[in-house]
Every structure is written in structure tokens, then in C-alpha cells.
Chain A
Amino acid sequence: MTRSQLTRTALATLVAGSLLSLSACGLGGAGDTKEAEKTGRVAGEITFRTLQLKPVYTGYVQGVIDSFERKYPDVKVKWEDVPGDGYNEKLVADAQAGALPDVVNLSTDSFQLLGDRGMLADVATLDAAVAKDYVPGAWEQFRLPGKGDGVYAYPWYVTPEILTYNQDLFRQAGLDADKPPTTVEQFFDYAEQIAARSGGRYSAFMADPKGRLPGDWQKMGVPLLNASRDRFTFDTDKAVAWAERMKDLYAKGAMPKESLLKADDINQLYGGGKLVFGPGSPGFVKDIRLNAPQVYAQTRVAGAVTGTLGHIGIYAQSLGIRKDTRHPDAAAEFAKWVTNGPNQVEFSKKATIYPSNAKGLADPYFSDRGDGKDAETLARAIGAGQLATADLDANTPVEWTSQVGDAVAREMQKAVKGDEDPRTAVRKAQEEANRLLAAAVRK
């Protein structure tokens, strides 16, 4: 072998070795970061990431930042807003690269992932006294199984579940618009009557099992998990009865056929007067007022179907603090500033959201029912009223991850379409959910 050949071989080996050792880096966990400790000095440059708030809420967010910087002149807040599409993927990539922002807006999914992997600061340790500022349940929502008493994010705004329906179609179907359903079973009875009377001109609700579960099962009293929360236990007669009823209603035309696969055109269908029950969020009522005034005039709002639970769950957006932030004092103070009562109330007046802050929710704006006729005003009051009694047992458990939801939805789609026996579908759904749960808790 000549000298140049030797050099070439050595170089190639070096490149291959570097690639292999670099790729082995991908095996390293990302969660063993050191928890930042407070210094008592609120200073430094911090990054703040939000989820799709520009350009509609640019003025509001910038105003909150400016007032914070005026109060704490030694802090500089660098705001970055990221579009909703791919938000979680970008967070994961940043977390892997060690480039998480100091203060970050988290959805339920991203909170679970980053919290479980030990990348978020325990805000209960950073500031234990702040817990009382938030509505009951909102603070506790950010605890994590197996992580002790830690709380891993500050609650931000909440969107309560309500019931919206078209009273004109209700009456056409022979139903009393003043008596909306309160249980899942009653909801299905109403849907059956709607299907029977509509003549195919309109449907009752969207079939998408991913959107309906596990909420429907919780409201029917189906136990989702065992006591130690390490096994799913929803394979029960009640869950099978749910699948059988859905199959029957789907065959009778109570739901649009394509809604079995996706529910993202619900606004369009409801706005077009082809659906009796609209989405269960107050923000939707505003959209209908702007986009379909005629249907808005027929829209009624009521408390959500809560079944045996009797109350709704709490779904709060949150602000997490990067565990190893260089400026924990500034980051914690800023997160508290953004989520304080006045700032949340101001935000809620601009967007159709609700404060998770107890003082904020007590603002008269949220209890005003107007003349009792305007759907949007009523939706706000009913939503706020429901939040007062909301509790975490109605929330989707953290063990019910997006992948568990997908796996269950796939089996339920087969059952609803009649491609699989409902009992078999529920059993197979539970098996797959348990397999995913076992994989997720592996440490």
C-alpha cells in the first residue's frame, strides 16, 4: 500500500468512525439537565416562545412584555412566535439540541413529553406561594405521574367545554330546544331521533372517535385506568355498548359518513346548517357569528354533556420554564406576570379564552349573561360557570397519549363502520393501549 493510499484509508476510517460516534450521540437521553436555582436577582435576557399569537395578538403580547421590562429594567425578553403547524416537532428538536426557550407555551402533549423527560423546572419549588393564585385544578393539572409533588408549568388560559346546537334543526327533529341532553345516552337518543326525522338533510354530530374518546366513556362511568394507573381497564360492557350504539347511529345516518375519519370540517357543516350539534368550545360561537350569521341566530348554548361526572375537565394552556435556564428568577417572574389576573383578563377580552387565574375568572366580564339571548355572551357566562366546578377527574388522563388515542380510534372506526365486532374492537383497543402504555413508562 502506498503512502497516499494509507492516508486515504486512514481518512475514510476517521470519517466513518466520527459518523458512527456522532450517531451514537442520538442514543443519549436529553433529560439529565441540572435544575437551575434561584438567585434572588431578576435580571438577564430570556426567550419567550408562544404558539401562533402573531399577528392577531401581537399588540397584546408586546404590551405585556413592555410592561414587564419596565417593572424589571434588568430583564430583556426576546419573544419568538411559532406557527401551530409543527410546533411540537420544533419543541422536540430544540429540546434535543438543548435549545429550549426559557419560557415556553406548552400544549398538553408537549407538556407531558418535556415534563416526563425532565426538561421543565418544578415551578412549585421556584415559587410555592403562587399556587393559590390559580383556579382549583388548574395548578394540579401540571403535576406528572411518578414525579412527586412537583408542578411543571404555570397555568395560562383555559377553554371550557360547552354544548352548542342549532335550535331550528332541534325543533324540526321534534326535540325541545329548552331541554338539551345532559348524558351521553340521552345525547345518542336525541341523535337517533334527529337521524329519523332529518331525511338525510342534516346530521346530528361528528363521528370521529378520536374527538369523542375518552370523554364519552368517562361521562358514562367507564373506568379508564386501574388504581395504580399502569393498565387501561376500559374494556367493559359500557364501552362495548358505546361502540354498538355508535355503529347503529352511523348506519342510520346520524353522523356525516366522512366524519368518521376526521372532524376538522365541523365548522363548515354546522355553519352550513347541516349539523345539529356544533363544536363544544366558546370560541366556535364567535366564529359562527362572524362566518354564518343566519345559523348564529339559531345557535343555542348550554352546559356540556357531563353524564355521571356532573362536571367538565380543565384544559389549560401553560407556560413551562426550561429546567436549566440561566435566569430562573427572571423566567419565573415573567411567567407569573403573563399569567396574572389582569393580564389574563385582558387577553380573554381579545380572544375567546378564560383565565386560569382565580382573581381573573372572578371578573364580572365572565358572569355577565347580557339579555340572555346572545349566544356569544351566554357561551362566555356558561363556560365560566362550568369552570367554577370543573375537576381533573374529567380530564383526559396523561396516560391517554395521542398515540393511545389514535390506536383506540382506529379500532372504534372499524367497529362503527361494521368492519369489526364492537366487543372485539374494544378488546383489541385496550390491548394496543396497554402495549403503548408499557412502552411509554419504560425508563
Chain B
Amino acid sequence: MTLTPARAEARGGARGDGRPPAADRATGADTGLPHRRWWTPYLFLAPGLLMVVLFSLWPFVNTVVLSFTDAQILRGGSFVGFDNYARALADPDFWMATGNSVLYLAVVVPCLVLLPLALAVLVRTEVPGIGFFRSAFYTPVIASAVVVGLIWQWVLRSDGLVNTVFERIGVISGPVPFLTDSTMLLVSAMIVTVWKGLGYYMVFYLAALGNVPEALHEAAALDGAGPVRRFFSITVPQVKPMMLLVGTLSAISALRVFTEIYILGGESGGPGGGSRTLPFLIRQVGLGFSGETGYACALSILLFLLTLVFSLLGRRLSKGDEE
């Protein structure tokens, strides 16, 4: 192939001094190009930045602005200062929904950090037919929310699989109200979230486990360490950064949970709305003919702040680990 002068220069071979052309540009050396502008990198970033600004930043700023108004759907609002925030703090529904969201996070995150790791360790074992299990564990991730909802309703309803089996073997005398009690509904939704998330985070851990040097395990085995000791002394420290990442991602997902509550608990969000999470409340407040856009935006900002707190917490933990 014949190199054009430009290509040759791009490969750093035009002058034969081995100096990369990037160095020329950085120092403003004689490249035949006009003097380097500070905004050149931004020009390259512009298309991406434009997308971020249009689809993330602007809606976010819009949400912040609207949260200080009494706007409604298709109806302009006027500025009301911090009224929406004051209303939220005095609203029992807000505190109930926040409590449910935080409880969701407190239960789901440890499960989604630990169980997929255990699962990943198990399915890494090379035995015949293990591919089937890896695929099976991943199936819930790609299953549609509607299908998942139907399956779990059949499993958990008063005359569903779990209640029927437990009643037959005499473990319970009457059906457990998995779907008709606010707290039990929340627990049922958590089970669905964990069930759906297992396979997803298992893949993360499989990637992390692939980077753990086999020599470490072999050395430890030679020193007499058993599988349990090797797991806690080698595997866990090696995949700790991944555990923190999974913890942060699952915490964000847990705070945004909506679908599981909706498909199991209906439009009202459980009996009397007692299983509503913050995203559920935001949707309920913001949509419909009498939807209160301003108040819903204020609730969204509060949810954002809550998510930010947990994300920063995850980051701090991660930094502490690095140190």
C-alpha cells in the first residue's frame, strides 16, 4: 500500500525521527497547521456534548426550574419558591415512599452484591452442561416485565404456587398475603428485583473473576488453604472493586424501582398505595388530567439528591478501598 504524506505523518514516520505528530501539535511546532486553538478538542466533543445537553442536561435544568413552579400538564405555572419542597417535607406520602425506597435499597443491594458473586463462582466451575445453567440464570434479565409480572403473580397470589404448596404440606394454615399486604408486597417486589438482577450482575462478576490470577489460588492451595479460605482471602479482595461497582449500580436501580411494584401491586401501588416507592409517587403525582408537574419535579429532584448521596457514599467507599 502506498502511504499518502498525510498518512505517513500520522504514523510518525515522515521525518523519521520517531516523534509522534501529536507532540508537534501540543507544542505548536511547525506542522504547517495554524496555531492550536484551545477550543479544538471541544469541536471534536461537540456532537456528543450536544446530545448530552439536549437529552440529559436540558431536561435536568428544566426539571429544576419547574420544581419551583406550580406548573401542570399543558398549563404554564408561576414561580412559587420552595413551596413544593416544603409541601413534600410535610407530605406523609412522600415520607412513606422515601421509607419504602430506602428499605428497598437496604434489602436489595446486599443481595445483589453477594448472591451474583456466589452464583458466578459456582457457574465458573467447568463441568458438563454448565453452559445451560449460565444461560438459565441469565434468562430473567431478558424476560419482559409483563411476563415476569404474570409469572410471579401466579407464584405468589393467595391461590398461587407458593401458598398452595405450603398449605398442602402444612407449613401455613392460611394463605400468606404476598400481594395484598403492603409490606409483603414490597418484599415480593424485592424478590423479583433480586431474581431479575442475579444473572445480570453474575456476568459482571464472571468478567472480574476471569482477571483473578490462577497462580494466587494455586499458591494458596499449596499452602493448605481450602476452597472457603481461598474464596474469602483471594477471590473477594480481588473482585472488591467490582463489588463496589455492583453495589453502586444496584443502589441506583433500587432507588428507581417502579415496574415491579406496578406489575404486582397495580396502579394504586399496593393496598391503599402503601407499597409506593418514590418513582411510583412521582408518576402518580405528575401524570393525568390533574397532574401536578411542578410538585412531581420537586419530588424528582429530592429523589435525585437521595441517589446522589448513595452514589457519593459508594464512591467514598471505593476511594477508601484504593487507599
Contacts and interface: CB of A to CB of B under 8 A. Distances in A.
A258 B157 contact: yes
Given A402-B289, A403-B289, A113 B175 contact: no
B284 interface: yes
Given A28-B76, A31-B74, A116 B268 contact: no
Interface string A371-409: 000000000000000000000000000000111101001
Interface string A399-425: 001111010011101100101100000
Contact of B271 (A113, A406, A419): A419
A256 interface: yes
B270 A27 contact: no
A261 interface: yes
Given A257-B179, A262-B266, A439-B72, 4 more contacts: A31-B75, A92-B73, A403-B284, A442-B72
Interface stretch (B17-25, B55-63, B111-119, B312-320): B55-63
Interface stretch (A15-23, A124-132, A173-181, A320-328): A15-23
A22 B271 contact: no
Interface residues of B, number: 41
Interface in B261-287: 265-268, 270-273, 284, 287
Nearest to B182: A419
Given A116-B289, A258-B157, A261-B268, A20 B180 contact: no
Contacts of B289: 109, 112-113, 116, 401-403, 440
Chain A contact residues, majority secondary structure: helix
12 contacts: A19-B61, A22-B58, A26-B62, A27-B77, A95-B74, A96-B74, A208-B266, A210-B268, A258-B179, A411-B272, A414-B271, A417-B180
Given A256-B158, A257-B157, A29 B62 contact: no
In the A-B complex, the 7 residue pairs with the smallest Cβ-Cβ separation, listed nearest first, are: A262-B266, A29-B76, A440-B290, A261-B266, A23-B62, A414-B272, A117-B74
Contacts of B266: 208, 261-262
Given A210-B267, A257-B177, A436 B76 contact: no
Contact of B158 (A258, A265, A413, A420): A258
Contacts of B273: 406, 410, 413
B66 A27 contact: yes
A184 interface: no
Contacts of A411: 272
A20 B65 contact: yes
Interface string B159-189: 0000000000000000101011000000000
B153 to A, nearest CB: 7
Nearest to A200: B159
Given A27-B66, A31-B74, A413-B272, A403 B38 contact: no
A206 B75 CA distance: 37
